[in-house]
Amino acid sequence: MFDNRTTNPLSAVTQWGHARVASLRRSIDELDRLSLLLAVGQITLVVCSFAGFLLQSLWTPLFVVLFLAVSGLGWVYRQALTAKVVTFLMTVSALVTLGLIAVFLVLESIPAFRTAGLELINPFGENVWSSSQGSYSLIPMLWGTILTTIVAIAVAGPLGIAGALFISEIAPGWLRDIVKPAVEILAGIPSIVYGFVGFTIVNPYVTDRLSVSPGAMFAIGVVIGFMALPTVVSVAEDALAAVPNAMKDGSLAVGATDWQTIGSVTLPAAFSGVSAAVLLGIGRAMGETMAATVMISHSRRLPEPTGYNVFDSTETLTTFIASSYGHVTPGGTFWSALFAAGVLLMVIVTGLGIVSQLVEMRMRRTLGGNQ
């Protein structure tokens, strides 16, 4: 007996192909399910860990360990997806943390504003800080912050821009490779070291030579200016280096000297970036704590005469917070006023950061040809 059925090779190949496609589709569906489970698991565990931390739950370590385990599993099977989810969660966590810090500062500062009202930040009031007499005003500390910042920028601005010009436009390559890392290393020196040098060298020199009170804001501003110098140099140098070489070559081609090209082409083209560098330096100077705390005399009053004397001494917002912490009873008006000082400082520094970003965006549009 012979089997009447005949095997069609084309049909067999077609059936095999359909089977493989179906198997591949099932694999893709399974991978999609696995990707979804990993992503949802990571997000859920991060939210649970964050909530547990805020609520001081004993389950928080378990959620963290599970998140690490799920992330490790995802790194083995779905590495690209896991990297995207983890970086997204890190970014969101940072933003949420900053937002919670801001909310916490504002909530803790409300009792001080209820007690002192707008006199806390009113420049036309008594401008006196005396907790024993129930007089609370942050104006002396705010004014001290402004004066020391002005002195610091008077030091860091010109020196920083000149250093950036030298590194970017004048120095030979071998010297640039030495100077630029050396300047950036200065940013890694602890601020307490600057403060100790200022306290032992700068303060006595200024006091003896200029016959001023110890802890003068001029001396503090000089030290803070040198601390802000690496920031100004680094950011300004990046802005100068971003100027297209075609613009410089065109200036040189029409007969301008190197210095004329720097003054008439490079600096104007990078003006927005250089301005952003100075603004970042201002933020760095305003936020400095330890160096100023070591050097300042902590007298919470306006400088004499008439408040603008940089050779007198007062308090800054950061030194006010640092020197008062640990000596104030939590929950009182004084305690709340410290948070109000933090809110004021946060608003000022955040505003400077926003302005610097706007200036930098303008630089990008200008260099890109969009006026």
Nearest to 317 by CA among 293, 353, 350: 293
Q: For residue 80, what are its two tokens? A: 């690209």
- Alpha-carbon gap, residue 130 to 138, rounded angstroms: 11
pLDDT at 302 over 80: no
* 3-state class (DSSP) for residue 130: strand
Q: Which residues pair with 135 in a beta bridge?
A: 130
Q: Name the average pLDDT for the chain.
A: 79
Q: Which CATH superfamily is domain 131-367 in?
A: MetI-like (1.10.3720.10)
Summarize pLDDT for 10-55 with one digit per residue, the tens. 566 566 666 666 665 655 555 567 777 888 888 888 888 888 888 8
Summarize pLDDT for 323-354 with one digit per residue, the tens. 777 677 777 788 888 888 888 888 888 887 78
Mean pLDDT of 202-229: 80
pLDDT of the residue at 276: 81
Q: Which amino acid, residue 345?
A: L
Q: Give the orientation angle of helix 333-367 with respect to helix 79-116, to 10 degrees.
A: 130
Could you tell me which residue, 371 or 249, shows the higher pLDDT? 249
Tokens 């810090």: give the residue: 101
Query: 145 vs 217, 219, 296, CA distance in Å?
Result: 9, 13, 12
The model's pTM: 0.74
The alpha carbon of 162 is separated from its chain's Cα centroid by a whole number of angstroms, namely 24
pLDDT at 288 over 80: no
pLDDT of the residue at 363: 66
pLDDT at 240 over 80: yes
Mean pLDDT of 255-273: 81
How buried is residue 26: exposed, middle or buried, by Cβ count under 10 Å (0-12/13-18/19+)? exposed
Per-domain residue ranges of the chain: 12-97, 131-367
